Amino acid sequence: MIRRFLRGILYLAILAMIGLVAYAYLGDLSPEQRETRLPVTLNAQ
């Protein structure tokens, strides 16, 4: 009984890892891109 339970937990853990890897490769994880312009003051002599 306990062996069947542990085997089920192991299978679920493996499926969770496969799902996480698949999401990392196939999911849209790219950052939002936008142009930013900031004035810079230089104290050059």
Segment 1-45, tens digit of pLDDT: 999 999 999 999 999 999 999 988 888 777 888 999 999 888 876
- The reported pLDDT for the residue numbered 43 is 83
| 3-state percent breakdown (helix, strand, coil) of the chain, nearest 5 | 55, 0, 45
pTM for the model: 0.57
- The reported pLDDT for the residue numbered 31 is 83
Q: How far apart are CA 27 and CA 45, in angstroms?
A: 50
- The reported pLDDT for the residue numbered 45 is 66
Total Cβ atoms within 10 A of residue 6: 10
